[in-house]
Every structure is written in structure tokens, then in C-alpha cells.
A and B are shown apart, each in its own frame.
Chain A
Amino acid sequence: MSEKVLMKGNEALAESAIRAGCRFFFGYPITPQTELAAYMSKRMPKEGGTYLQAESEIAAINMVYGASAAGARVMTSSSSPGISLKTEGISYMIGADLPGVIINVQRGGPGLGGIQPSQSDYWQATRALGHGDGQIIVLAPSTVQEMADLAYGAFDLADTYRTPVMILADGMLGQMMEPVVLPERRDELPEKPWATTGHKGQRPHNVVNSLYLTADALEKLNVERFERYEVIKREEQRAECVMTEDADIVLVAFGASARIARSAVVHAREKGIKAGLIRPITLWPFPTDAIEATIGTAKAYLSVEMNMGQMVDDVRLVVNGRKPVEFYGRTGGVIPTPAEVLAKIEEMNAKGGE
């Protein structure tokens, strides 16, 4: 096992992607993601890979489309406003069944918003990333170690299901340093018989395309793709559960806010309040099984987010009226404190799950 090093989340993620076999990076600078692109610009040429600062985010995502169609492991990264620009290209990738990894180091929005950490792109990532019927896999790291681990695994998920995968991070995770053990580098990558690599007349030519003018053909493709989504929902849900077995109040939080929620849960336990935490690691597919497993014992749920209340919708969909679901959040780049979350837990505990 390699040694623990101290790295920024942005840099650990970039190094891990290279070790996963990513050899093409296309991006455009934006705070608080820029270290990721800067790291790639230094490292990619040494790996015989390509780092290219595109003229815009839109150009970058279409370069991702091209490199992916040619069978490469490819990545782009940005922060919230830049991701909005990429959404057209991501929709095209969904429509063409192209794998690729997209990093969103979120900042406050809407509009140009701010540059401080936020989780306000949850809806965008899990619902409406581009037009059309479609989803992408969304992963939510909570530590610098997970920035590395999830980025590494994202390339395999993308190739297995032929879908874009997003890492939904935030400015805190991107900028902070923590000890991290980087994954081993790999050179054996999956075969991609569908890739447009040139065939020299040896096989029928491959086509990568998202345009289908016949309604019946497009319907058939979309239905098939949603069958694949059902497999993803069944096989790929991931969540971490902390002290949920006997918890009266189950917090649900991802990414940076899960760190704060975890501290609040520990403090609540010290005060004799039975609190627990479900931390979704996959945001899509949403870990419905982990929440369902607590429905018999929990008295109430509390979604903690760095936004005005977005993931709470998904919690409510699972809970489906069987228990109260409340929300606590800060927005605009403000990071909630464990004390604020604890106060909310105490308030709910006093109500006794009413």
C-alpha cells in the first residue's frame, strides 16, 4: 500500500483519475476547481496524455464527447456556472451512450453566484443535467480520500454502463487538504468494441450519434436505456450508515454537509439523543434501500444540506409520508456549523417525532 500524503481534494482527485487510466483532460478555469485543471496541466504531458484548456466549457465537453467516442478514458471539470454550460454536451453524451467523467466542484448560485462551497446543484445533477429523458450516475465524496477513491471508480462505472458519471464535490472538499492514500495505477482498461477507432474494413463501422429522426426508433432506445438505469438503481446504490440502527432521528446528508452532520450526531449522542446519519455516496441512484431500512425504527428524518432544500425531496419520496421529514440548510456559500445542526436535532427531539 502506498504511503499517506497530504493533498488538496482537487489534486488528489486529478492524480487518482490519471491512475485510473484517464489520458485526456479538457477544461476551462473556474474557482474553486482550478487546482484540478492546473494539476492536470502539469501531470498529463508526463503521462503521454493530453491536457487542453479549451476556449470555453462548451468546447471542453464536446472534446470529451469526441475523445470518449474514440474509446479514451476522458474527464472534464468545472464549477457550478461552468457545469450549466456543459449540460448540452452531457445530454448528447447520454444520447450517444458515451462514458466520461465530469467533476463539479460546486460553488454558490444561481447565476455567477459566489465562489464559496455549496451543494446547490443537487437538483441539476440528479434531475435535469441537460434536456431529454436521461440520467447520469452522480457520486458524492465527503473526504479527500473519497475524492480520490470515487474518481478512480467513476471511470469503471462509466465504462460498465456507458454513461457519463459526475463527481458532485464542493469548494470545501476541493480546497481542503487531508491525508490520502492514492490508488494503484492501472494500465489494463476495458475493451470498447463500440468505439470509433477506425476499422480498416475488418468489421462493420461503428456509429456514435444521438440523432434519431424516427420516433419509434428513439422510443425503443430510450426504453432500453431506462432498463439499464433500473440495473444501476438495483446494483449501484451506495450509502454509509452511522449509528442508524437504534436512531430516533435519522439525519441524511452528503458530501461536506455530511461531515458537519456527523459531528452533530456524535454531540447529540453525548447528550443522550438517539441520532444517526445516512450519508448517500451515490446521489443517483439515490440510496433508497438504506433509508427504507430505517423506516421502522426512525421517528423522524432530517436532511442537512448546503442549499435551500433539494435532496430533501428524494428523502420524502422514499419516506412517502410515513414519518416526518425536516430540513436544515445554509446557502450562498455559508457552511453550517455542527452546533446549528445539533440545535435542530434537539428541537426535533423535543417534539418527539410529531
Chain B
Amino acid sequence: MAATHNIVLAGFGGQGILFAGKVIASAGLIEGRELSWLPSYGPEMRGGTANCSVVLSDEPVGSPLVTAPDALVVMNQPSFDKFRDTVVEGGVVVADSTLVPNTSEIPGAKLCCIPATQLAEEAGLKGLANIICVGKLFAEVGFCDRETLFAAIDKCVPPKKAAMIEKNKQALEIGMNA
């Protein structure tokens, strides 16, 4: 029986937070797991913060709203400040240190700072820091099989943007090795 993962991803609107969550949810779909994906919605999305909850489980998902994540991805300072204290004992936090300059250790949780936005720009993958963070989270938590995660990219990138598939996969690799 695979583990249950309660994941929160948070950052600015426009960073692809919801898409990153969808990639993780799609990996669960491919593996036939029970899952849910719930976005924050409303005025806070316009230039403000965006976040989403993803649950992967073997049991039907109760509340899709994750209030005590065991995995957290944060891509801006306000999100780190807002969610750091919600992470459960033994949880993992991936922070994009390019945009989260002020981190502090979280008691009982593992903090992984990677300069995802900077890594994306250096690799010519502007806008894919979100997927770099997903790659890092995968390396730390292993929420699905490796091949599944790459297949999830195939599933999530819309046909009109098929050219982006390889770049997304490249971003995953960067995150996994960061």
C-alpha cells in the first residue's frame, strides 16, 4: 500500500502553482490512486497568492482541503510565512530560494531550499521554476514512480503547447538533481 500524501503548493498567481499541482494529481490518476486537487479561488489570485491542495491516497479522499500538509512547495515569501507552521512532523518543505530569501528551519520538518527560478532562467526554461520544484519534491518524497511523473507531463501539457513537453521534462530533471 502506497503512502498518503497531503500536499500544498503556494506562490504568486502566474507562477504555474495550479499547473504544478495538476501534474502531481495526474501522476496519481495514471497510477489509479484516489486523489483530489483543490485550488484557492477568488480575488487573491489576481497578482496575489495562489495555492492548491493535492491529496494522493489509497482511500477515498475526505476533505480535499489540506490544512496540515506533509509536503509543501512554496514559491514566494508570503506563502512560506503563511504555511510554514502548518507542516506536520516529518514533513518536507521545498522552497524556491530565489523568491523566498528569508527561510528559517521548521522544527520537525525537512527544509529544502533550491533557487528554482534562477535555475530555470540559467537553463533557458523561464517560467518552469514550478516544475523544477515538483522535480525536487519528487526526489524528496517520491509520491509516484519516476516514469509516471514524466507521463503526467505528457497528460497535462495541452496539445497547443506540445513544444513545451520536453522543456517541462528537462525542468523535472533539473529539480530531481538539484
Write the residues of chain A forming the contact surface with B, with a CB cutoff of 8 angstroms: 4-6, 31-32, 115-116, 171-172, 175-179, 259-260, 262-263, 266, 335, 337-338
Contacts and interface: CB of A to CB of B under 8 A. Distances in A.
Interface string B42-54: 1100000000000
Given A5-B29, A175-B41, 13 more contacts: A6-B37, A31-B42, A115-B41, A115-B43, A172-B64, A176-B38, A178-B64, A259-B61, A260-B62, A262-B62, A263-B62, A337-B67, A338-B63
14 contacts: A6-B29, A31-B41, A116-B42, A172-B64, A175-B38, A176-B64, A178-B37, A178-B61, A178-B64, A260-B63, A262-B60, A262-B62, A335-B65, A338-B62
Most central of B26, B36, B63 by chain A CB within 10 Å:
B63
A322 B115 CA distance: 63
Interface in B18-60: 22, 25-26, 29, 32, 35-39, 41-43, 60
A332 B173 CA distance: 43
Nearest to B155: A6
Contacts of A262: 60, 62
Contact of A179 (B22, B29, B43, B67): B29
Contacts, number: 57
Nearest to B63: A260
A266 to B, nearest CB: 8
Contacts of A260: 62-63
Contacts of A31: 41-42
Contacts of B26: 6
Q: Chain A binding site: helix, strand, loop or mixed by DSSP?
A: mixed
Contact of B36 (A115, A178, A335): A178
Contacts of A263: 62-63
B63 A4 contact: no
Contact of A177 (B22, B32, B65, B67): B22
A337 B22 CA distance: 23
A179 B64 CA distance: 13
A175 B39 contact: yes
A173 to B, nearest CB: 9
Interface string B62-106: 111101000000000000000000000000000000000000000
Contacts of B61: 178, 259
B98 to A, nearest CB: 29
